[in-house]
Structure formats: structure tokens, C-alpha cells
Amino acid sequence: MSLINDDLQQLLINYCEPESELLQHIDRETNLKVLMPRMLSGHYQGRVLSMLSKMVSPKRILEIGTFTGYATLCLAEGLSADGIIYTLDINAELEDMVRKNFAKSPYNDKISYILGDATETVNQLDEIFDIVFIDADKKNNGTYYDLIFERVRPGGIIIVDNVLWSGKVLQDKQDKDTRNITSFNDRIATDERVEKLILPVRDGLFVIRKK
């Protein structure tokens, strides 16, 4: 299920900021060389992440799920002068590609790329975050949310990707992955510690503001 038809998607892209040459390169390379390239955020969602980051002007960002680094670089665009983005991923096979992509970026010195199980590596970080972007294995959305919640400052933002799951969350009969996502969405809807809304961007972005 496509949330937005191709013509409207193209119109949205026409009216937002263009991709940099590096982001275009990452998009092409990911689609040519990497399994499941649809996991990449892409042009429009990347501009949404960039805009949210620039509105916050964060000193510290945490990203759980690097993939090929596209969203990392979009989020990094909003970092303050002394800002750092920590990005965590478990896929060592993509390390060379990701590090090369970061090395070509003006934000390379602001990126801390950490390989390993995020449920473990996140505990190595002694930081309070302004933005957290969760875009990893969906079954662990709730686990990651619990791990990082106390590390987010009041007024900070948690963004969770793929919460509409290609529209499958509307189905009465749901597979295991869809049930996990629906359960997480239901949990956030009743969490009185936060303000929240889902943006129907690409596969659904849950934007959650800590009170």
C-alpha cells in the first residue's frame, strides 16, 4: 500500500530543498549495491528529518539504525556548532561504505559511528539527547524507547520510523511484525509523559516530544 501516489510524491519533492550530490550518490549506491534499499530514508523524508533537526538546533543526536548513512547526514545538518550525532548499527558489512560516505561529508567530524548491538552500545553513551531517531529492527522499538527515554531532555524529540508499515496497521488480521508496530503505537498514544503525532511521511514518522 502506497500512502501517497507517485505524482503527489513528485510534487512534494519539487517543493522541498534539493538533495546534495553526496545524498544523491548514497541513494544511487544503496539501490545498486545493498539489499533492501527501500530502508533508505530518501529525498523527501530526509528533508523532513533535516528540517526537524534545524528547528531544534541540537547539541546531541542519537540515531539507532545507520543503514548507509543517508538519514544520519540529514539529521547532522541541524547540529549546533559543537554538536555531535551518535549513530548505532549492527551491520558490520556496510561499515566501509558508511565510513566512506561520512568522510565525504562536511559533518564527518561531528559523527560518531558505533557498531554493535544498540541495546548494549547505547549504554556506553553518557549523554543527554535533544533528538533521538529510532529506525532499526521494529520489534525492538519499545525496548529502544525505554532505553533512551531518561536520556532525552525535557522538550527533546524522539522520532520513530515505519510506524504505518505500508498501511498494514489498518488491517484487522495482522502478522507478527505489524502487531508489534501497532502495540508500540498504542503504547505511545497513552504515554502521558509525551506529546505525539504521526506524520504520514513515507512509511510513517512518529514524532514524540518529551514534556
Query: Which tens digit of pLDDT belongs to each residue from 49-107?
Result: 999 999 999 999 999 999 999 999 999 999 999 999 999 999 999 999 999 999 999 99
Contact 53, 74 (CB under 8 A): yes
Contact 153, 128 (CB under 8 A): yes
The residue behind cell 539529521 is 75
Residues 6+ positions from 100 with CB-CB distance below 8 Å: none
Contact 60, 83 (CB under 8 A): yes
Beta bridge partners of 112: 86
- DSSP string covering 34-48, please? SSSGGGS-HHHHHHH
pLDDT of res. 3? 77
User: Hey, what amino acid is at 18?
Assistant: P
- C-alpha to C-alpha distance for 114 and 141, rounded to whole angstroms: 19
Instruction: Please state whether the predicted TM-score (pTM) of the whole model is above 0.85.
Output: yes
- For 115, the enclosing helix (H) or strand (E) is strand 111-115
- Spell out the domains of the chain, with CATH numbers in brackets: 6-210 (3.40.50.150)
pLDDT digits over 151-195, tens only? Answer: 999 999 999 999 999 999 999 999 999 999 999 999 999 999 999
